[in-house]
Every structure is written in C-alpha cells, then in structure tokens.
Amino acid sequence: MRPLLLLCLLGAATLQAQYLDISTTADGSIVYFSTTLARAGTDDPTQGRIYSIGADGLKVVEERRREDPAGQPAVTNYYWLSAPEVSQDGRLLAITGHRDCTSGRNCVGVTTTQTTIRGLALTGSDLRAPVHFSPNGRYALLEREQNLSAQPAALIDLTTGERTTLSFFNTATRPGFIVTDNGRVVSADGWVHIWDRTGNRTTLTDLLQEDATSAVTDRSGSVIVYTSRWDYPHAAFSRIRVVDPTTRAQRTLIEGFADFYQPVLSADGRRVLFLTTSRFDDSGFLGPAQAYVINIDGTGLRPVTRDPAGVKLAILSGDGRVAFAVTNAGRLVRIDVDSGAEMELLPRTISIDATFSCLTGPVTPGSLRLLSGVAYDDEPVRILFDDMEAPIVSRRPGEVLFQIPWEMAGRNAMMRIETTVPPGPFQQPELRTQLGFGGNFGCIFSLPAEYGTRAGYGFVPYSLAFGQDYRLITPDNPARLGEAVNFYATGLGAVDPPVATGQPGPVEPLARLRDSIQCNLPVLYAGLAPGLVGIYQLQLQLPADPEPTYGLPELTGIRCSVPGSGDFYGLLPVKRN
C-alpha cells in the first residue's frame, strides 16, 4: 500500500442559491427574486417572500403570514411565495403561492398552488401554477401543477382571456423567454417542440441524435436556443445549440471540455447568455461556473462574471445589456454586459447544501464529510460536534472538507458551524443540527463526469479506481483481467489499530476494518488508505472472467457490505481478451 493523491478527484456537491427565480424588465432597471431568508432584525418565519431591487433599493413586494385556523383541514392560504415573473415593460407581475396539504383525505384533489398576476384584472385566483410571459405581456404560459386535480398546461391570451390547452406535462421554470409575442411556445423534453396558438405542435429535433433541454427563444420566435448532449459514449458534457423553427436547421453555438447550460436569449435574438465550467484554455481544468455572452452568429464570446466562487444562476435583460447573477458566495450582482461594470446588490449570506454524494450523504465517524454551501471562501470556519472540533482537511470556494471525529461513534451530538461572515439585510440561518452516529454508510467514490458514464445521461458513473500499478482506471484505460484493483470509499466504520482523529491512515501497521466486509470479488485489503485522512481503500481481485453488468461485457459491477450498512456499489470498465 502507498499514499495516493486523490482528493482532487472526489466529487463535489452542487451549491444552492439563497436568491431564486430572478426576473427583470427589458432595461434591467428592476430585478425581482424570491428567498426564504428572514430579514435582519425580524421574527420572519421560514417561508418564501418576494422582493425587488430597483432605484429605491431593496423592497418587500409581497409576503403572506401563514394561517391555520383551529379545527380546519391542514390547508392554509397560499403563503409560500416564489417564481416572480415580470413583463418586459414592468406592467405585469406574476407571483406564485403554495399552501400546505401533504397527506390525508382532506388533501385529495386540493389545489396547492395559486398564481396571481398583478396589473391585470382579467385573471386571478384560477391560475394554479407558475406562468411565463411573452415579452410584450400579451400571452402567459401556465404550467401544469403537480396535483391530481391540476389544470393542464395552457396558453392564455391576457387581452381576451382565451385559453389554449397544450399537450405537455409541465415546463420546468427557467430563465429566458419561452413564449413569443405572437403566442407561440417552445419547450424541450428530449426533443425541442414549438406550439402555435391553436395548440398544434411541431417537433424540431431528433431524440435519437441528441437529448435536448432548456429551450428558449426570442420575442419573434425566429430562433431557438437549447442545451443538449450527444448519445453515449460522447455525452459527458452539455453544449448549446441553435435551431431555426422554419427550416429546422441545427447548429452548435458553443461546446467544449466543460458543461454549457442555462441559456438566456435577448428579446431581439442577437445575444445569448449562458453558464459554463469551461476555462476556455488548453489546461484541461474545469472551474466554478461563470456567466458568458456570445452573439447568435458565434462571435463576441466574452465573460460576464469572474466570481471566485462561481455563479449559480444568471439572467439577461430583454435588451441584452444588463445581467443579474446569483453567485455561489450568496451574492446578487448586477453587471453592465458591455462595460463589465459590476454592482453588488446583496452581499453574501451563508447557506448549506444537502445534495447527496459520498461526501454529503449519511454521516459516519472517521469519514470525510463535505460542507458545501456559500460564504466559506476566505472566512475562518470552525465545525464542532458538541465541544469537539472537527479537523478541516481542505478548503476551496464554497466547500470545506472535514473529518467527522472518530469519538462520535454511537453518540448523538449537536453539529455547529461557526463563521465570521458579516451580517447583511438578511439574517444568517442558525447553522446547527442534531446528528446521530449509529451505523456505517458505505459509499465508493465515483470518477468525475468528464470520464463518462455508463448510460451517457448522467446515470451510473464509473467508480474511482486504480490498477495494481496505480494507474487510473477509465473507459479508455480499463482494468485488466486478473489484476488487483484499488477502490476508495467512505463510511466503512471502525478500524484496528485505531487511528486518532485528524491523522492519516498508517502504512505500518495498516489500519484494517474491524468488522468483516463481504464483496462479490475477493478482498485483498479493506481499511484506511495509507497517508489519507478519513478515506478507506478497498483492494479487490478482479477474476479472469468477471460477470458482465447491464449485459455489457466491458463492464463489471462491484457490490460490498459491512455490518451495520446496506450494500454499496461500484462500476468498473474492464478489458477482456
């Protein structure tokens, strides 16, 4: 056994944004957003509220106190507000509210979502899902609510009240125009579709050639921009594509060694804003996502943001001159696209992400844990379990990698996070939670997405594994039959001899698992990885004829378990003779 530098390969969780559903007018003079954060100095409950920022600063647009009359069913008013959508001229504002109704006979068929459009007397309480305006504010696309009694998706003419039912399940709320000034609607559910005002659908792309998502259009509907992936095995990254609705001609606007996503098109169709993890160089490295703009003809590529923590969400004003971005540091910023001048509208605010991965799933003493969120960039951070401080192994923007103390085994403890992030207009959430440490939760680390997946659409990632010569195992460099293969994992439990919290796995003697481990392949070693903190190493013997997985001879599955844990799995590419 020997130490192995693999922390750079460990998967990171997706960061959450504190400010959601941002929407702006044609000139970017005002931006609307929703948040569940409480205002500083108030007793605000945890629920969604709508705010705006314009020339007169930060304002509360709408909030509703939760009501629950005694003796009534578990249904309240539509108090949880989200999805503000403003028309380009600022005349109309749609606000979506949600109310409680999660179980029991009183909830059968109960409407749980209601959208109200301010500035318009024609519609009101009968809208049961978020809406998307056309740039001129004449049409609104009504999404379909996730409810048994839900109304179908529909296009509404806001001047006449005429409603046209559309034959798709729903449209995931996204930035950018999806309704044109003349009432046509675009969507992408693997294919790119366009509907006319009578509800007739035209399909513009071929699912057998690519998987299309996140379609947006300009105000005239003369061009559609969307994201897509090629079929397996070329689908590690997304790209941005363009389709002409008239000719159905398609072309790639931008792609490369990175993900390209969340496109937004200016109202005139000339400028596209998007997010990407690309560095646009030959380094082979990815970075925190940034916002870029590019002209629809492929010229004029340039960055809009250069935030060290990266960008979670960005939108473009209708005239294409102003961008708003929510960063992974919890900031809301306004950027003049042409000059690059940036104005901070809201400072960073702490939040924690709960996205599942080997490093963010159930907690096990001795294993690594990823604290993923925002505002951890350059501020001191302490992580405590009761009064015991957890050792921090590494840090990078938005992430703190730490070890759960071995001493927590069999205990309950209060996990607290202490930072010195300065206060802003919203209160910092209380960063504490009660945790129990009663079992093992095994998990084998996966290779990053750029090495591919078994299915090509983000499913079944390959495991992080090294051959007996410590070369990285990938589909292009598969494992050889009969060789010893090294996997890396978390959550496998206690070891002998014990290792102190914060100390790496020893080389001599090796710290082997205290409990026996059962795998579908012969186990040569199971214990702490020498030289690494909180990471386990599994060395398994690959047989001369491993069983295929998914019916594919070039793949074999790994299945293991330790007492107190369910089965955990891995996937290995192999080279057969």
Examine residue 141 and state whether it is found in any structural domain, yes or no: no
Of 162-166, 222-226, 313-317, the range with the lowest mean pLDDT is 162-166
How would residue 440 be classed by pLDDT, with cut points 50, 70 and 90? Answer: confident
Examine residue 86 and state whether it is found in any structural domain, yes or no: no
Examine residue 447 and state whether it is found in any structural domain, yes or no: yes
Which residue in this structure is represented by tokens 């059962």? 518
Q: Domain range holding 549?
A: 442-575
Mean pLDDT of 367-372: 82
Of 40-54, 312-326, 365-379, the range with the lowest mean pLDDT is 365-379
Examine residue 513 and state whether it is found in any structural domain, yes or no: yes
Mean pLDDT of 256-276: 94
The pLDDT of residue 14: 38
Instruction: Kindly report the backbone phi and psi dihedral angles of residue 439, in degrees, each rounded to the nearest multiple of 5, phi listed first.
Output: -160, 180
Portion of the chain with pLDDT greater than 70, in percent = 82
Q: DSSP class of residue 505?
A: B
Query: In the numeric block, which tokens belong to residue 4?
Result: 């192995």
Of 112-126, 384-398, 412-426, the range with the lowest mean pLDDT is 112-126
Tell me which of 317 and 143 has the higher pLDDT: 317
Examine residue 494 and state whether it is found in any structural domain, yes or no: yes
pLDDT in tens, 454-484: 654 446 788 999 998 889 998 889 999 999 9
DSSP 436-462: E--S---EE-B--GGG-BSSSSS-SBP
What is the β-pairing status of strands 523-528 and 536-541?
antiparallel
Examine residue 499 and state whether it is found in any structural domain, yes or no: yes
C-beta separation of 298 from 252 below 8 A: no
What is the β-pairing status of strands 568-575 and 479-480?
parallel
How would residue 113 be classed by pLDDT, with cut points 50, 70 and 90? Answer: confident
What is the pTM assigned to this prediction? 0.76
Instruction: Kindly report the backbone phi and psi dihedral angles of residue 406, in degrees, each rounded to the nearest multiple of 5, phi listed first.
Output: -60, -30
Q: In what order do the strands lie in the sheet with 224-230?
A: 210-217, 224-230, 239-243, 250-254
Examine residue 497 and state whether it is found in any structural domain, yes or no: yes
Examine residue 282 and state whether it is found in any structural domain, yes or no: no
DSSP 224-248: EEEEEEESTTS-SS-EEEEE-TTT-
How many alpha carbons fall within 13 Å on the CB side of residue 352? 19
Count how many domains the chain has: 1
Taking phi over 0 as left and psi of -120 to 50 as alpha, with beta for the rest, 104 belongs to left
